Amino acid sequence: MAKLTDLYDAIVKGNLELAVSTTKEALQENIDPQILISDYLIKGMEEIGAQFEAGKAYVPNLLMSARAMKGALELLKPYMESNKEVATLGKVVIGTVKGDLHDIGKNLVCSMLEGCGFEVINLGVDVSDQKFVQAAQENKANIICMSALLTTTMVYMKEVIKAFEKAGIRDDVKIMVGGAPLSEKFAKEIGADGYSDNANAAVTLARKLLNK
């Protein structure tokens, strides 16, 4: 039987092999992927983040944890994309804003949106305002999702919204924002259409914004 606490330990210690083997075992035992993500993987990332903040872990530790998390998520991704045959609910352009390289949470949001029937254009990390605007125009996007994990980069989201206004296409898209340092209040202040604090809530919000 899969020892699920091993999954948490694997993320905290940055042990890719253990993360992969425990995830495989858990999937063979039909354990809900959402439980693996919420109760073990994300909790593990929170712990290594807290250790980093306390000066007990360093950037290489974060990188190893991120690598272990990505290895596990790669195995879980197909289970989050099971509804792909469903007609697309809308097109989403998503990216982590300029200056910010954190992409684990953003990729989780991508997988959930795809799994729930949205077509997702993932621009990756360090995405400039012009790249967001260009991708929205080229793909005729319905929704723009921005992610930021740093207090220094979240402010750039306002620049992106301004760029949509300047290009004259602000009213053609709904703009959603998310990431650990953000809040509903911040989203309102910068003129976004909505904020969500996790991947499931992002899907609910996207559907609501498009009346789906």
The site for ligand B1M (CB under 6 A) is made up of 42, 45-46, 48-49, 52-53, 59, 62-63, 65-66, 99-106, 108-109, 145, 147, 149-151, 176-181, 196-199, 202
Task: Tell me the C-alpha to C-alpha distance, in Å, between residue 46 and each of 11, 117, 205.
Answer: 10, 29, 24
Task: Tell me the C-alpha to C-alpha distance, in Å, between residue 40 and each of 30, 114, 136, 174.
Answer: 16, 22, 35, 32
Q: How far is the CB of 118 from ligand B1M (least distance, A)?
A: 12
Q: How far is the CB of 5 from ligand B1M (least distance, A)?
A: 18
DSSP class per residue in 51-66: HHHTTSS-HHHHHHHH
Closer Cβ to ligand B1M, 66 or 135, answer by number: 66
b/e burial code for range 168-177 (CB count within 10 A of at least 16 → b): eeeeebbbbb
The tokens for 156 are: 């750039």
Closer Cβ to ligand B1M, 29 or 212, answer by number: 212
Q: How far is the CB of 188 from ligand B1M (least distance, A)?
A: 14
Closer Cβ to ligand B1M, 29 or 88, answer by number: 88
Closer Cβ to ligand B1M, 29 or 188, answer by number: 188
Closer Cβ to ligand B1M, 22 or 111, answer by number: 111
Q: How far is the CB of 113 from ligand B1M (least distance, A)?
A: 9
